[in-house]
Structure formats: C-alpha cells, structure tokens
Amino acid sequence: MNLADNILEAMKTVLPQGGGFLPLHEPVFPGNELAYTKECIDTTFVSSVGKFVDRFEEMLADYTGAKRAIAVTNGTAALHMALMLAGVKAGDEVIIPGLTFVATANAVAYIGAVPHIADSEEKTLGLDAQKLDAHLSEVAEVRNGECFNKETGRRISALVPMHVFGIPLDVDGLLAVCEKFSIPMVEDAAEAIGSFYKGKHCGRFGKIASLSFNGNKTITTGGGGAILTDDAEMADLCKHLTTTAKSPHKWEYFHDMVGYNYRMPNINAALGCAQMEKLDEILASKRKLAEKYATAFKDVEGVRFLTEPQECSSNYWFCTLVLEKGFEGDRDSILEATNGAAYMTRPLWTAMHRLPMFENCPRTDMSVAESLEKRVINIPSGAGIVGV
C-alpha cells in the first residue's frame, strides 16, 4: 500500500466508520449549555449585560491562573486589543510566526503596524527562538530600551508567539529573545485553552495574551475570545475600551476615548460557563483520542503524529500529522483519500508571507515554514469522537 492507504487504515483503527461524514472538530455540549442559554432567553439578558459574562471571566482567570480575564466577541478582537494595550502603534513592526491563522497578522494590520514574519521549528511548529535570535542580531538594535529594525527604521514593539494547534512552543527560548532585544511578548494562545508549559497555563508568560472560543475550538462560546493579564490597571483599561469606552452613569452616554464594541454577549458567555464546567472532561477525551492516534501511527513509515514536548501538556486541539521530508508529494493524495472516506482532514494554512497583503513584509528565512506547509495535515480531533 502507498502512504495514503496506510494513513487511512491507521485512522480507521481509531475513528468510527459508517456514521456519515466526520467533521474535523465538532463541538460537544455535555453539560448545562441548554439550561444556561435558556436562562438568558427567559430573563431577556442575551446581550452584553448579564451575570454569565462576569462568571465566565472569573472561571477563565481561576483556571488559567491569570489575575484578570476580559471576555470579548472573538479571538481576533482579543489579540487586537492585547496588542494595543501592549503599546503597539501604527508604523511599528510586530514579530509573528509565518505559520499561523491569518487573524494573527490581521490584528497587527488593524493597528496600522507591519507584521515581521518569522520562521518555525519542526518540533512544535511554533516560532524558532534560535533562528529568530540570529535574525534579530543581524537586523535589529536596542536604543533607549526599545528595539528597532535597522533596515526599515521601524520600532519592533511586540513579539507574538502562537501555540500551534495547542502544542506549547519554546516559551523559555522566546522569553530570552524578548529580554535580549527589549521586545514585549504578547501571546496568541487562541488555540491553547487547557495547554500548559512547564506547569503554567499558556498565555501566562507575556505581558498580555489572547484566547479564542470559536465554534471549532476546544471549548466554545459560539463566537468569542478573551484577554488574559496580571496587570490590574491594564485589565481595567481593557474592560473600558472593549465596552465602547463609556463612562459609568445611570443614564448619560459619555465616552472618553475611542472605544470598541467588543464585549462578549451574555448568551455566549452562558455557553462558555457550561463548557468551562466540563473542560477537564473534554480535555481528557481529547487526550485519549491523541493517545490512540499516537499508537496507530507509531509504525507508519513516512509520517509522525505531533505530540507535546517534555514538561508540557497539550490540549490536542487539532490532532496533527507531519509527513517526513521526501513525502511532500503524498499530501494531496492523503487529503483526497481521507476526505473521500468521510473523514475530514485539511492542510496547514498558507504561510503568511505568501499571502498577497503580507508578501512584502520583513521576514526571516522561511525555509522550515515553507517545508512544513507542504507536510502538515490535521485529522478529526473532536472530543465527542471517544465520548465525554
């Protein structure tokens, strides 16, 4: 058999058969989702006012260990706000991975800043700290406690690592780069709820971080995101800005800053509260599925199942196959065979530097990202596959 056939056979030992098309990541609602959303409808508190928003924020802060969590409309809004609060300004550069969902780059562009695109490493698919260090040593300089790109003259005002598919990346290595070059870290933990790096929740290492609760995430609020920070003043400003910067008053509408209508609706937060109550069970189901996949693919030549690094715990948001070098040409036949067998699979995103709006951005050598783009396949990953 060829590689596509071998991969399909391995998947069949793990996944259900004959039940119709199996999505890549279908949400599960095993708890109080219906009761909480019905309460919102019964009380008419479905929009940005209601008890579930505050409760969801408290649950997120408690689970992640952050001092504050601010719930917003989606993960992109969360990252946009996090970058603003970290001090990113129009005309700055922000270091982002080339291998990320486009929202990471878009959030930078919303501010009028420029993505500075960096390469990834094979082990986690995350930013390569050593390669970034070498690159910045050539093109950057620190002046008065801030980093500048010598080639463009622009300030490099943030570094945004993204934990790809919930796999914790090399946080220590990137923190060392941030310290060396005086660049604040803004973590894109959109895919990493329930993932831990050396015992600490992802999103807790930078100045501020963002989460996402889109419909295909580990837990969902339908659409939604959150900002995490330990800075109380920053959290208060975040809450103010994301609620249109309206000054508190019983009836008057006075806004003292340019604000954003980013507040999460209560009905979405109600879903989030119910999901948080079952998060440990959802994570356990996803880990069980990942372990089954790891066993199934252990002896399949030409492919490896992506696993968490030592001292880390992944949520295994998306279970991921990485084809070995030399098997790039098999990717599309694998996608055709698996989708044809009613198992949804998909390739990696197009690398950011190959998108037309970001192709002229400054960047490192991107050889690893370009290679991985041709070799990464996501396979069905929902918690409901093995049951919650």
Q: What is the pLDDT of residues 345-367, one digit of tens each?
A: 999 999 999 999 999 999 999 99
Q: Three-class SS of residue 41?
A: helix
Residue 339 pLDDT greater than 90, yes or no: yes
User: What is the band of 128 on the pLDDT scale with cuts at 50, 70, 90?
Assistant: very high
Residue 241 pLDDT greater than 90, yes or no: yes
- The confidence score (pLDDT) of residue 387 equals 84
- The confidence score (pLDDT) of residue 388 equals 81
- Check if the beta carbon of residue 269 is closer than 8 Å to that of residue 250: no
Range of weakest confidence among 43-52, 312-321, 327-336: 43-52
Q: What is the pLDDT of residues 154-207, one digit of tens each?
A: 999 999 999 999 999 999 999 999 999 999 999 999 999 999 999 999 999 999
Q: Taking Cα atoms as reference points, which of 190, 231, 235, 197 lies closest to residue 211?
A: 190
Going from the C-alpha of 11 to that of each of 1, 4, 124, 292, 315, the distances in angstroms are: 15, 11, 22, 9, 20
Going from the C-alpha of 111 to that of each of 77, 114, 189, 210, the distances in angstroms are: 12, 9, 19, 16
Q: Taking Cα atoms as reference points, which of 90, 113, 80 lies closest to residue 242?
A: 80
- Check if the beta carbon of residue 219 is closer than 8 Å to that of residue 277: no
CA distance 371 to 151: 27
Residue 1 pLDDT greater than 80, yes or no: no
CA distance 117 to 210: 19
Q: Where exactly are the structural domains of the chain?
A: 3-26+279-385, 33-277
> Is the CATH number 3.40.640.10 carried by domain 33-277?
yes
Q: What is the pLDDT of residues 4-24, one digit of tens each?
A: 999 999 999 999 988 899 999
- Strand (E) or helix (H) holding 212: strand 208-212
Average pLDDT over residues 96-118: 98
- The confidence score (pLDDT) of residue 17 equals 87
Percentage of the chain beyond pLDDT 90 is 97
- Check if the beta carbon of residue 99 is closer than 8 Å to that of residue 372: yes
User: What is the band of 75 on the pLDDT scale with cuts at 50, 70, 90?
Assistant: very high
CA distance 193 to 188: 11
**Total-model pTM:** 0.96
CATH architecture of 3-26+279-385: Alpha-Beta Complex (3.90)
- The confidence score (pLDDT) of residue 49 equals 87
Percentage of the chain beyond pLDDT 70 is 100
Q: Taking Cα atoms as reference points, which of 167, 194, 119 lies closest to residue 362?
A: 119
CA distance 77 to 384: 28
What average pLDDT does the chain have? 97
Helices (H), 98-211: 102-111, 129-139, 171-181
CA distance 242 to 340: 44
- The confidence score (pLDDT) of residue 48 equals 84
Average pLDDT over residues 103-123: 98
